[in-house]
Amino acid sequence: MMNVRIRTFTLLCFVLILLMPWVFFVIAHFIDTRSFSLSQANGYTVQMIGAIAGLLLSFFIIGVQMRRLLLKPLEGMSLASRQIAEGDLDVYIPLSRISEIAEVREGFEAMVTGLQKSHRKQMELENNRRFVIAAVAHDLRTPLFALRGYLDGLEQGIARSPEQAAKYVSVCKEKSAQLDRLVEDLFTFTKMEYVEGNLSSETVDLHGVLQRSVDSLRPLAQKKNITIVSEDAGTEHCIIHGDAHLLERAMNNLMDNAVRHTPDGKIIVRCYRDEQKLIFSVTDSGVGFSEEDLPHVFEPLYRGEQSRNRATGGSGLGLTISQTIVRRHGGELEASNHPRGGALLEGWLPIHSFNHEARVDR
């Protein structure tokens, strides 16, 4: 059944009011005289009763239809608005064949759907906030406890020799650096998730960005007997437009993750152009991701079983931050296991344009 405009509905009601009494008048006249000729009637009492009955029936039909098509949807929207005001978003609005009412109903449903999505998003953010607070409190407690213990030891003179004192100071510096990395990751994650604006646009040499990341982590890699191999297919093909600071942070996180989770062996870094995309990847020779961990690699503060140790586990935000930065630039970052073993983090970035959704002030 097709929808009708309210003007058409009003016209149909008017026609029904005019037509029904005449139809009942004619039917009553035929029943009374067995003829359609008005001259054969002795009186019009029966016919008038029939006309009045037809008029009343037309009013009844119009009232029922107005109730079904106009009043019930409006009452439903009124009730739904009160439910929404009370916080109940599970509302129902009756259907209507009146075009204007149907359009208002569709708009109301779109509003309710938007409110439901917003409510779900708000609940997710609230749950994430609680989770982040709990996780951060847990992560901060371990290095702070160790730092306080070693500082108390220094204060109380437990380190009696210069060698012991140097060891205590070294551990304190290590724990303070761990705290600094955690706070920096949390700060970046918070800005990337909640601060909106525009990304800065500048010419970025992704090969240079990757090379700086490699150079900064090479001393740690050498201590672990890790060889880092860069396989860039020509530096001139690794030029894009984007936020250099954020892209460098993303690549640093990828490299840091590879170095921390590779006991020894080799890390391969690639960067090359494929049509209008810039492909980059970091492959290590570690144990890779387990089947249980792989779907959760980019979840905030998630650590797989093999990286629970705070010596290698990091903050649990590095890969999340990297994926967020790449996506804000209009690209994508994915995790998998290389066929020959080890973890593979591969992504792409558009060369000429990216998504201007957010800017993170430095």
Contacts of residue 309, defined as CB under 8 A and 6 or more positions apart, other chains included, come to none
Task: Check residue 361 and give its pLDDT.
Answer: 41
Residue 100, pLDDT > 90, answer no
pLDDT, greater one: 28 or 307: 28
Task: Check residue 81 and give its pLDDT.
Answer: 85
Is 286 in contact with 266 (CB distance < 8 Å)? no
Residue 60, pLDDT > 90, answer yes
User: At 204, which helix (H) or strand (E)?
Assistant: strand 202-205
Q: Which of 14-28, 53-67, 77-91, 322-336 has the lowest mean pLDDT?
A: 77-91
Q: Give phi and psi for 106, each to the nearest 5.
A: -60, -40
Q: Which of 71-80, 193-202, 269-278 has the lowest mean pLDDT?
A: 193-202
Among 20, 19, 41, 42, residue whose Cα is nearest residue 30 = 41
> Can you tell me the mean pLDDT for 113-135?
80
Q: What percentage of the chain carries pLDDT values higher than 90?
A: 8
Write down the residue that tokens 């079983």 correspond to: 305
Among 169, 133, 136, 137, residue whose Cα is nearest residue 154 = 169
- Most confident of the following: 148-152, 192-196, 236-240, 350-354: 148-152
Among 255, 243, 168, residue whose Cα is nearest residue 204 = 243
Task: Check residue 148 and give its pLDDT.
Answer: 84
> Can you tell me the mean pLDDT for 58-64?
91
Task: Check residue 345 and give its pLDDT.
Answer: 92
User: At 76, which helix (H) or strand (E)?
Assistant: helix 72-85
Task: Check residue 171 and give its pLDDT.
Answer: 82
pLDDT, greater one: 252 or 236: 252
Task: Check residue 183 and give its pLDDT.
Answer: 79
CA distance 204 to 227: 26
pLDDT, greater one: 137 or 291: 291
Is 47 in contact with 32 (CB distance < 8 Å)? yes
Residue 197, pLDDT > 60, answer no
pLDDT, greater one: 11 or 127: 11
Q: How confident is the model at residue 234 (pLDDT cuts 50, 70, 90)?
A: low
